[in-house]
Amino acid sequence: MTAIDTRSTPAGERPTWRRIGVKRKVRAYVSLTKPRVMELLLVTTAPTMFLAQGGIPNLWLVAATLIGGALSAGSASSFNCYIDRDIDRQMKRTADRALVTGDVTDREALVFSYVMGVASTIWLALTVNLLAAALSLFAILFYVVVYTLWLKRRTPQNIVWGGIAGCMPVLIGWAAVTGTLGWAPLILFGIIFLWTPPHYWPLSMRYRDDYASVKVPMLAVVRGRAHVGLQVILYAWATVACSLLLVPVAHMGVFYTVVALAAGAWFIVESHRLYGRAIQPVAEVKPMKVFFASITYLTLIFLAVGIDPLLPHLL
């Protein structure tokens, strides 16, 4: 197989072709799907299905939903890589992406994105239900058109509203089990919606210079770090408050309540620590501590969402 060698080509010159192995090509395609992002989305889907069922759902249905969700998330991420290939080729943190290294050509990435998007919609429609398929298609279109093409390069609120696409897996998971939607999945949607800014803004603080170099107006680029730190605190508090709304609405038990309170308190403390460092001009901010803490927080919350409805059947 061949690929464009962009790393060894001087700026302004035409890239040369080189051969790469099958394994490297496969890894390049997989990288377009942003597996780490996909994993986080799937972590929210399965527990939601357990809550919707009030116990253990049909395991084939869970598998089918996760497969369709993975294809959908992979399609959206691949489209994102294709659309953002121009700025990815200029930023340091994206220097190893497949479209930057040339391991995948632009045409290959575009075809790959469309194939996965179509496959995910058809798969969910045939194996789950039409509502799940429609929600999945909406998530792809929203992430690609609204976030990547419209919001990302125009407003510092890009992450806030663009995060709606990342909230869709809980609606898909709930719809897969019940065929409908309700208040409980909307609260789960709200948790992820409010969680996304304090999750991503610390990352944008870490790579502020990268985003500034390509004129992407992330909040950390257009406002000072103290302002970003304050916003992280506000959204962290809102996220925890929303997580507690699930207790009365979905009749969650003691296990979920304790986890939501403990994990939420930790998340808020880490957010305040970030702000405390951000308002000191000479202090090192260390925003990635909050970034990784946010991932752990969301994982704990959704593990509790999936485990809590099982406990009455086990005790």
* pLDDT tens digits along 205-215: 888 888 998 99
Task: Share the mean pLDDT of the chain.
Answer: 90
Cα–Cα distance measured from residue 298 to residue 44, given in angstroms and rounded to the nearest whole number: 8
The number of C-alpha atoms within 13 Å of 188 and in the hemisphere containing its C-beta is 34
- The residue ranking higher by pLDDT, 19 or 259, is 259
Helix (H, G, I), strand (E, B) or coil at 18: strand
Cα–Cα distance measured from residue 128 to residue 17, given in angstroms and rounded to the nearest whole number: 43
pLDDT-derived band at 18 (thresholds 50, 70, 90) equals: low
- Report pLDDT for 10: 45
The end-to-end CA distance of the chain, in Å, is 57
Cα–Cα distance measured from residue 75 to residue 228, given in angstroms and rounded to the nearest whole number: 30
User: Domains, the chain, ranges and CATH?
Assistant: 23-181 (1.10.357.140), 182-314 (1.20.120)
**Contact indicator for 188, 305 with CB cutoff of 8 Å:** yes
- Report pLDDT for 3: 52
pLDDT tens digit string along 256-310? Answer: 999 999 999 999 999 999 998 888 876 778 889 999 999 999 999 999 999 999 9
- Report pLDDT for 78: 95
pTM: 0.89
Statement: residue 7 has pLDDT above 70: no
Residues 6+ apart with CB under 8 A from 56: 50, 310
- Report pLDDT for 13: 40
**Contact indicator for 177, 45 with CB cutoff of 8 Å:** no
pLDDT over 70, % of the chain: 93
